[in-house]
Amino acid sequence: MSTPAPAAQKVNLRRPDIMEAVQAQVLSHYRSQLVERIRANGHVLASGDLTVKLAKEFGFCYGVERAIDLAYAARKFFPPDKPIYLLGEIIHNPEVNDQIRNMGIQIISPKPTEDELARLQAGDVAIIPAFGTEVATRKRLEEKGCELVDTTCGDVMSVWKRVRQYSKEKVTSIIHGKSWHEETKATSSQARAYGSGHYLVVFTLAETDYVCNYIIHGGNKQEFLEKFKGAYSAGFDPDQHLQAVGVANQTTMLRGETEEVQNRLKAAMIQKYGATTIDEHFRFFDTICGATQDRQDALQKLLREPMNLLIVIGGYNSSNTSHLAEMGEGKLPTYFIKNAAKMESDRLIRHYDQHDKREIETRDWLPSGKITVGVTAGASCPNNLIEDTIRRLFELRGISVQELVATN
C-alpha cells in the first residue's frame, strides 16, 4: 500500500528578513535611475529636436512587484538543490521570465501535463504566478505534497471571490476576457469550485450582442455552443443557464468595454424579464484592476497632448499592454515593442501587430525634424526596459547616452 504524500504547505516568504535580502537583487535587475529622474522632471525629457513624454502611470504595479519579489525570495530561502517550479510565466514579460529561469527556477506549463506532474515530488516548491492557477491544478499540487509559493494578485482573488459567490447563488458568471488567458482560465475554474456553477467567457462586444440576442429571443443552441466552444463550462446550456447571470472580468481589460458588456447584458435582462425583477436575473461588480485603470487613464490624458507617435513597451502576450497599444492606435502612429532592440534604426522598427498576432516591420517610422514621442509601458514591464527605450530614441537622433544624462 503506497504512503500518501504529506500535506502541502503554503509558504509565507513575506517576512522582513527575507524581503530585505532580495530587494537589492530585484532593484539591480529592474530599477532605472533615468526613469526616476524623468518622473521627477515632470515626466518629460528633451534634447535637440526630440522630446519624450512619459505617461504619468506606467510599468510595474504592486501585484507584479509582489510576484517578482516572492519568486526571488523563494530562490533565496530554499536550499540551492531544492527543485523550484514555476507554473507558466510569473508575469507576461520575456526579460523578467528569463531572469527567473536564470536563477535556476524551472518553468513548466500553467496547467502541467502528466509528464510534468510526474517530475514533481513531495516537498518540491511550486510557484503560482500572478495570474493565479486553475482550481484543479492547485489541488493536484496539494495532493503531491508540494510547498506552494502563491503570488496570485489580490485584484485577481477579488474576482474569484465574486465568481464563487455567483456560483453559490446559482448565477452563471459571464466573464469579459480572453478565454485562452491564464487569468481567465483560473477565474473560470472558480465558477466550478462548488460543482454547481457555470460560466461563459465573452471577448468582444459583438459576442456580447450575440448572447444578449439569445437571452431575449432564444436561438439555435448548437450554433451558440459551437460559436463559444472552449469558452464555457462543462454542461453549460444557454437555454437554462442564461436566466440569471453575473458579470465579472479579466482584471486587465478596458474598463469602458467591460462597462459596456455590463450595460448591454443588463438591458437584455430588463427587456426579457422586466425592470422590477432585474435583481433576480442580473448581478455586477466592478473588478477592473486599479493599476490597469490608472495606466489607461494616464495614457488617455497623454494622448490629448500634441505628439507625433507613441511607443508602448511590454510583452506581446500581456493583456494590459495590448489594451494600451489599442488605445494609442486610435489616435496616432503607435508601435508596440517588447524591448529597445526592436528599434533597429530610424528607418526600421519591428513591432507587434496584435490584430494579426505577429511582429511586423515598419520603415521610415521616426520622422525627421522636431518631434514629440509619447512613451508608456504595461504593468508587467520593468523600468530598465523603459530606460533602454528612451535612451535608444535619443541615440537614433545622434544624442549620446552620456550627453543625455549630463544635460538633464
Cell numbers 505534497 correspond to: 145
As a whole number of angstroms, the distance between CA 112 and CA 117 comes to 6
What are the backbone angles phi and psi of residue 406, rounded to the nearest 5°?
-70, -30
Cβ contact 383:37 at 8 Å: no
Q: Which amino acid is at 272?
A: K
Its sign, for the CA torsion 151, 320, 388, 58, is negative
Which stretches within 274-355 are classed as H helix? 278-281, 290-302, 319-329
231 secondary structure, DSSP code: S
Q: How many residues does the structure list for the chain?
A: 408
183 is annotated as an active-site residue: yes
Q: Which residues contact 322 (CB under 8 A, 6 or more apart)?
A: 316, 336, 354, 378
User: How many CB atoms sit inside 10 A of residue 15's CB?
Assistant: 11
Beta-strand relationship, 44-47 and 50-54: antiparallel
- Residue 210 cell numbers, joined: 450575440
Residue 108 φ/ψ region, left for φ over 0, alpha for ψ in the -120 to 50 degree band, beta for the rest: beta
CA-based Rg of the chain, rounded to a whole angstrom?
A: 23
As a whole number of angstroms, the distance between CA 111 and CA 109 comes to 5
- Residue 110 cell numbers, joined: 500553467
Catalytic residue among 147, 183, 257, 387: 183
Cβ contact 247:172 at 8 Å: no
As a whole number of angstroms, the distance between CA 174 and CA 261 comes to 9
Q: Which residues contact 248 (CB under 8 A, 6 or more apart)?
A: 159, 162, 163, 166, 173, 174, 175, 176, 187, 285, 287
User: How many CB atoms sit inside 10 A of residue 306's CB?
Assistant: 9
CA nearest neighbour of 339 among 309, 318, 369: 318
Catalytic residues: 183
